[in-house]
Amino acid sequence: MKYILLLSLISTTTFAKNYLDDNLRKETWNDIEVIWLEDNSLPTYDVAFYFSEGAISDRKGKYGETELMFAGLSFGTRRYSQNAIAESLEFYGAEYGSRVTHEYSTFSVRGLVKDLIPTMKMICHMFDDATYPKKELKKTKRRVSSGFKSMVTNHSQLANHIFRYESLRGSGIEQPTTGSIKSINKITSRDLTKRLGHFNKNVKKRIYLRGPKTISSLKEIVMNDCRWKQSKKTSTAIAKKKQLKNSSIIFVPVPNANQAQIRIGRYINKSEISFENAEMKSFTAKFIGGGFTSRLVQRLRVEKGLTYSAGAYASEQKNYGRSGISTFTKNETVVTTLNEIKKLIDENSQGIPVELFKLNQKSAKGQYLLSLESTSDFLETLLFFDHINRPYRDIYNYSNKVDSYSEVALAKMVKELFDWDRQTVLILGNKKLIKSLRKAGYKVVEKNYKNYL
Amino acid sequence: MMKNLKKLLCFMIGMGSLYACSQMKTKDADSSMGSENPELKVSIDVKERTLSNGLKILVVENHKLPIFSYYTYFKVGGKYESPGITGSSHLLEHMMFKGGKKYGDKVFDKLVEGNGGRNNAYTTNDLTVYYQSLPSEHFEVMADLEADRIQNLLLEKDSFEKERKVVLEERRMRYENSDRGKLYLKMMKEVFKGTPYGLSVIGTVPDLKTVSRDQVWDYFKKYYAPNNAVIVIVGNVKADDVFDTIDKKFGGIAAVKGLEETKKKHIESMGYNFRKDFKQRIQLKGDSPTPTFTLAYKGLAIGSREAFALDLLSSMLGDGESSYFNQRFVSAKKATLLKIYAANYTLQDSGVLFIGGQLLEKVNLKTFEKKLRSEIKASCENGISARALQKVLNQYMVSNLTGLDTNEGIARFIGDKEVYYGDYNFYKKEMSIYNSITIDEVRDVCRKYLATDENMLITIWNKH
């Protein structure tokens, strides 16, 4: 099979606005909806299986069950060992893996079109026949345990991990999708087989494809080898309402640190979520901490030289969301950095200069277009829009929506998302910093990182 | 756990991100072989022009979306520094975002992001690379911004002092507070000791604290020249318009005379010979509860047939769940490692082949080391097979094709080939080289470069 990439011949008319009209196809296989972005530019394909259930329904004490269920698909089947599965899929150059959120899960595969059939047959066989052999599970548990304990060597990752627990505490989703050493150790081979059976039979699925026409051969494989049953049910477990308040700074000491990780953020309750203001939240996070012109980077890095990087985020799923700020600084400037962030949020909650607002508007619109460039990323956007029941046309209405914002509304959203009194604040670093934080008037509660592993 | 084609250990330091090393074997290979040996032809329509001052421009028109990516490669990196000014290339990369005199301070980022774009940069031992992506109508202003900062860089004292602090913060984040970072920094320092690659790209702390604005300015004048740069533009542009615009903006910038001689002289003052006492055991104090290790071997510069064979070897042995080392140490019945990988890091003028991993709890380091050394020697016979070779070639092909999905991916793909091989079309030759390498050749390089006692073991954990 020969493919010639003549990039210069790609039509100038397939710009974002009519891209979907030209390339999107919808089908139904065994009652499962299929969303297919036809793309003949490369001899590769992307497949993403969407499952409408995630880690929120992991049983108490067995957190991490869904993620381990997907990861363990390759542990072995009645026909193939772990090694045989890995050997086969890697031989075809396939890249594969799962992503589990609290609300939904995906399993994605990427490979060469010419090897689609053997690759996808193996993937479907894994879903149909995974046995989670005890010996493989035991080895995995040992690796998971070592992996958790080694997190202390990556301060940023450890801070994110603990911050998740603390900022979501009380919401019902504070447990990470990965679980903990304790919860993983409680999961048995039987638990995983049962969980997989539940996903195969009782969880709603959708299939997302990117690739040329020839990948239609996937239909038969899905129908005959995956043998999934479609379900109309979606997960009923939802995150709880959480009260938002700022109390003490949570301080997590780690040995030998000469730099402290700072995390500030909050949980977004379901009552605050709507299509109407979803983009406004990300627009606000971008204004505060997205890119070199953002307020945080300008203040903390360019003006003060306090950090190398500072960022903000605000993202939502169907029933909950999170917003926050993330940065780091040397031990000597932790208090200064915290004070600067507080000041910056306060200033920008009061009002925003028109030129900065306009810069953020232009920047957001252009970068949204850039984010749709990769067809694989575009496919992921469609998957997420379907998950939250949002129409695709909203993708193309982004620019108009951003044009409708005002600097007053932006300032209001800065206050809403980042108001200090509603944030959880976590600092991970050298223990001696507790003293300087207290001296500066902050209340501090010390916690041991080992309790979060 | 399930992701194959793992991102290997690699550090490129830059304004805002960590990138996968382009010259790591998992990224830099290409192949026409598939599972059934089909021939895959990839042809990118590149138009090129070289200005009279030596500036080379490569353009790929891609009209899929109304956007473009703009890459500028400067053929200067950490290897051109000297003790006392280590970290200058990288510090200069940071200062380049202050922009030039025509537009003034704090305008560069505003114009890029304010026009809906994004930008960043990175520095390696060999190169400094700047890149932006924007909506197509802003091509001219982007070219003007780039030309301005090359001609009239704002290197003001105040902002220089602030950026010095920022880089020290970056150093703490990447290396001083990370076992992985400490290990990598030490490996590069010790493996390439006495050569230009042994100098720290991020810079030593004393150098970063003392290097002066004037020293960095001299460095800038010496190396930021049109005859030391390649510009790659990919996207919704017309090649002829690009050539005209670049000519208009950059054509008047004078080439630096004697640049090649300066570079040659600098390199020759140190040379690339590996240290005579290469065989070392180094222990570092870290925070990891179990030992993390790197076993490093003398490698080769990018481009030789043996270097390509070493790419294949390291992938066969250490890439993916089914790789030889993974099956022996991670997936084995009596597993000893949490993870393992092998990498062939080919630089422009030298290289290092290394195996790295982390021990599981209750595994004795000495016992493990003995087993590792014995498995490495056995791997030249047991780990290399026709199927393993085919598997690696398939993986390279997927990896390369995936990268061609975006303008940035294409720009980097051809830009890297141009600066490393002097030929943006080299990916075509590279494919046939990989395809022509035999199992016996892979075995030969395994025996020659890996099954040797001339290696350096560096370990880090909290018990050292």
Whichever domain contains B386, its CATH number is 3.30.830.10
Identify which of B338, B395, B401 has the shortest CB distance to residue A143. Answer: B338
Q: What is residue B8's predicted lDDT score, i.e. its pLDDT?
A: 31
Identify which of A86, A97, A149 has the shortest CB distance to residue B322. Answer: A86
Chain A contact for B292, CB < 8 A?
A: yes
Chain A contact for B385, CB < 8 A?
A: no
Could you tell me if residue A131 is inside a domain? yes
Could you tell me if residue B232 is inside a domain? yes
Low-confidence winner among A164-168, B23-27, B394-398 (lowest mean pLDDT): B23-27
Instruction: Determine whether the interchain pair A42/B401 forms a contact, defined as Cβ–Cβ distance below 8 Å.
Output: yes
Quote the minimal CA–CA distance from A195 to chain B in Å. Answer: 18
For testing contact with chain B, the best of A4, A6, A8 (most B CBs within 10 A): A8
Chain B residues with CB under 8 Å of A152 CB are 287-289
Could you tell me if residue B16 is inside a domain? no
Could you tell me if residue B30 is inside a domain? no
Q: What is residue A20's predicted lDDT score, i.e. its pLDDT?
A: 74
pLDDT band for position B14 (cuts 50, 70, 90): low
Identify which of A152, A366, A374 has the shortest CB distance to residue B115. Answer: A366
Enumerate residues 238 to 277 of chain B having a beta carbon within 8 A of any beta carbon in chain A. Answer: none
Given a cut of 60, whether residue A14 has pLDDT beyond it is no
User: Of the candidates B152, B153, B136, B14, which has an alpha carbon nearest to the alpha carbon of residue B70?
Assistant: B136
- Rounded mean pLDDT, A100-121: 95
Could you tell me if residue A9 is inside a domain? no
Q: What is residue B35's predicted lDDT score, i.e. its pLDDT?
A: 52
Identify which of B287, B292, B407 has the shortest CB distance to residue A256. Answer: B287
Q: What is the pTM of this model?
A: 0.91
Chain A contact for B280, CB < 8 A?
A: no
Residues B252 and B335 in one domain: no
Last residue of a domain, one of B268, B292, B325: B268
Q: What is residue B6's predicted lDDT score, i.e. its pLDDT?
A: 31
Residues A396 and A320 in one domain: yes
Could you tell me if residue B354 is inside a domain? yes
Has the ipTM of the complex gone over 0.95? no
Provide the domain limits for residue A322: 249-452
Counting Cβ atoms within 10 Å, is residue A6 exposed (0-12), middle (13-18) or buried (19+)?
Answer: exposed
State residue B152 phi and psi, 5-degree precision. -135, 55
Query: Which residue of chain A has the CA closest to B137?
Result: A366
Instruction: Determine whether the interchain pair A292/B97 forms a contact, defined as Cβ–Cβ distance below 8 Å.
Output: yes
Residues B225 and B246 in one domain: yes
Residues B121 and B194 in one domain: yes
Residues A64 and A116 in one domain: yes
Q: What is residue B20's predicted lDDT score, i.e. its pLDDT?
A: 27
For A14, A27, A95, B68, B132, the CA distances from A382, given in Å and listed in that order, are 17, 15, 21, 24, 26
Identify which of A3, A143, A373 has the shortest CB distance to residue B41. Answer: A3
Q: What is residue A229's predicted lDDT score, i.e. its pLDDT?
A: 79
Could you tell me if residue A234 is inside a domain? no
**Which residue type is seen at B77?**
G
Q: pLDDT exceeding 70 applies to what percent of chain B?
A: 91
Identify which of B60, B135, B333 has the shortest CB distance to residue A369. Answer: B135
**What is the count of structural domains for chain A?**
2
CATH of residue A415: 3.30.830.10
Could you tell me if residue A235 is inside a domain? no
Q: What is residue A304's predicted lDDT score, i.e. its pLDDT?
A: 95
Instruction: Determine whether the interchain pair A7/B16 forms a contact, defined as Cβ–Cβ distance below 8 Å.
Output: no
Residues A253 and A390 in one domain: yes
Chain B residues with CB under 8 Å of A137 CB are none
Could you tell me if residue A160 is inside a domain? yes
**What is the count of structural domains for chain B?**
2
Query: Which residue of chain A has the CA closest to B461?
Result: A153
pLDDT band for position A13 (cuts 50, 70, 90): very low
Residues A47 and A160 in one domain: yes
Could you tell me if residue A201 is inside a domain? yes
Chain B residues with CB under 8 Å of A258 CB are 172, 176-177
Enumerate residues 290 to 319 of chain A having a beta carbon within 8 A of any beta carbon in chain B. Answer: 291-293, 301-309
Instruction: Determine whether the interchain pair B116/A8 forms a contact, defined as Cβ–Cβ distance below 8 Å.
Output: no
User: Of the candidates B417, B429, B426, which has an alpha carbon nearest to the alpha carbon of residue B71?
Assistant: B417
Chain A residues with CB under 8 Å of B182 CB are none
Could you tell me if residue B8 is inside a domain? no
Q: What is residue B464's predicted lDDT score, i.e. its pLDDT?
A: 87
Residues B366 and B226 in one domain: no
Residues A206 and A264 in one domain: no
Instruction: Determine whether the interchain pair A363/B113 forms a contact, defined as Cβ–Cβ distance below 8 Å.
Output: yes
Q: What is residue A244's predicted lDDT score, i.e. its pLDDT?
A: 72
Instruction: Determine whether the interchain pair A93/B38 forms a contact, defined as Cβ–Cβ distance below 8 Å.
Output: no
Chain B residues with CB under 8 Å of A114 CB are 34-36, 38
Residues A80 and A127 in one domain: yes
Could you tell me if residue A243 is inside a domain? no
Enumerate residues 204 to 263 of chain A having a beta carbon within 8 A of any beta carbon in chain B. Answer: 254-259
Residues A220 and A140 in one domain: yes
Q: Between A406 and B38, whose confidence is greater?
A: A406
Cα angle A74-A79-A83, degrees, rounded to a multiple of 5: 45
Chain B residues with CB under 8 Å of A8 CB are 45, 60-63
User: Of the candidates B343, B304, B301, B347, which has an alpha carbon nearest to the alpha carbon of residue B433?
Assistant: B304
Identify which of A82, A150, A304 has the shortest CB distance to residue B289. Answer: A150
**Which residues, in sequence order, are CB contacts of A87 under 8 Å at separation 6+?**
B322, B391
Residues B247 and B279 in one domain: no
For testing contact with chain A, the best of B3, B40, B63 (most A CBs within 10 A): B63
Identify which of B42, B166, B391 has the shortest CB distance to residue A301. Answer: B166
Instruction: Determine whether the interchain pair B110/A359 forms a contact, defined as Cβ–Cβ distance below 8 Å.
Output: yes
**Contact (CB, 8 A) for B394 and A91:** yes
Chain B residues with CB under 8 Å of A113 CB are none
Residues A263 and A379 in one domain: yes
Low-confidence winner among A385-399, B167-181, B342-356 (lowest mean pLDDT): A385-399
Q: In the predicted model, what is the mean pLDDT of chain A?
A: 91
Residues A429 and A324 in one domain: yes
Pairing of strands B13-14, B280-285: unpaired
For testing contact with chain A, the best of B26, B35, B337 (most A CBs within 10 A): B35
**Contact (CB, 8 A) for A116 and A212:** no
**Assign residue B221 a region: left if phi > 0, alpha if psi is -120 to 50, beta otherwise?**
alpha
Given a cut of 80, whether residue A238 has pLDDT beyond it is no
pLDDT band for position A170 (cuts 50, 70, 90): confident
Instruction: Determine whether the interchain pair B35/A94 forms a contact, defined as Cβ–Cβ distance below 8 Å.
Output: no
Per-residue tokens: B297: 């071997």
For A233, the 3-state DSSP assignment is: coil
Could you tell me if residue B4 is inside a domain? no
Chain A residues with CB under 8 Å of B321 CB are 74, 82, 86, 90
Residues B149 and B201 in one domain: yes
Per-residue tokens: A37: 């972005």
Provide the domain limits for residue B418: 274-461
- Rounded mean pLDDT, A44-49: 96
Given a cut of 60, whether residue A67 has pLDDT beyond it is yes
Enumerate residues 101 to 160 of chain B having a beta carbon within 8 A of any beta carbon in chain A. Answer: 106, 109-110, 112-119, 133-135, 159
Instruction: Determine whether the interchain pair B401/A98 forms a contact, defined as Cβ–Cβ distance below 8 Å.
Output: no
Instruction: Determine whether the interchain pair B178/A363 forms a contact, defined as Cβ–Cβ distance below 8 Å.
Output: no
Query: Which residue of chain A has the CA closest to B162?
Result: A305
Residues A170 and A105 in one domain: yes
- Rounded mean pLDDT, B106-125: 96
Last residue of a domain, one of B216, B245, B268: B268
Residues A278 and A427 in one domain: yes
Given a cut of 80, whether residue A257 has pLDDT beyond it is yes
Q: What is residue A237's predicted lDDT score, i.e. its pLDDT?
A: 63
**Which residues, in sequence order, are CB contacts of B364 under 8 Å at separation 6+?**
none
Helix or strand run (H / E) with residue A265: strand A259-268
Quote the minimal CA–CA distance from B336 to chain A in Å. Answer: 10
Q: What is residue A16's predicted lDDT score, i.e. its pLDDT?
A: 53
For A317, B122, B159, the CA distances from B91, given in Å and listed in that order, are 40, 11, 11
pLDDT band for position B22 (cuts 50, 70, 90): very low
Chain B residues with CB under 8 Å of A153 CB are 178-180, 286-288, 292
Residues B264 and B282 in one domain: no
**Which residue type is seen at A110?**
R
Could you tell me if residue B437 is inside a domain? yes
Q: What is the pLDDT of residues B184-209, one digit of tens each?
A: 999 999 999 999 999 999 999 999 99
Q: What is residue B1's predicted lDDT score, i.e. its pLDDT?
A: 34
Identify which of A4, A44, A82 has the shortest CB distance to residue B398. Answer: A44
Chain B residues with CB under 8 Å of A43 CB are 40, 401
Residues B236 and B313 in one domain: no
Residues B254 and B282 in one domain: no
Residues B154 and B173 in one domain: yes
Enumerate residues 43 to 82 of chain A having a beta carbon within 8 A of any beta carbon in chain B. Answer: 43-44, 70-71, 73-74, 82
Last residue of a domain, one of B229, B252, B268: B268
Q: What is residue A11's predicted lDDT score, i.e. its pLDDT?
A: 32
Residues A336 and A446 in one domain: yes
**Contact (CB, 8 A) for B34 and B28:** no
Could you tell me if residue B96 is inside a domain? yes
Query: Which residue of chain B has the CA closest to A373?
Result: B406
Chain B contact for A156, CB < 8 A?
A: yes
Residues B255 and B321 in one domain: no
Q: What is the pLDDT of residues B417-450, one digit of tens each?
A: 999 999 999 988 987 899 999 999 999 999 999 9
Could you tell me if residue A238 is inside a domain? no
Given a cut of 60, whether residue A453 has pLDDT beyond it is yes
Residues B105 and B250 in one domain: yes
Quote the minimal CA–CA distance from B155 to chain A in Å. Answer: 14
Enumerate residues 323 to 362 of chain A having a beta carbon within 8 A of any beta carbon in chain B. Answer: 328-330, 358-359, 362
- Rounded mean pLDDT, A387-399: 90
Query: Which residue of chain A has the CA closest to B174?
Result: A154
Q: What is residue A2's predicted lDDT score, i.e. its pLDDT?
A: 34
Identify which of B3, B387, B406 has the shortest CB distance to residue A97. Answer: B3
Q: What is the pLDDT of residues B279-311, one digit of tens each?
A: 999 999 999 999 999 999 999 999 999 999 999
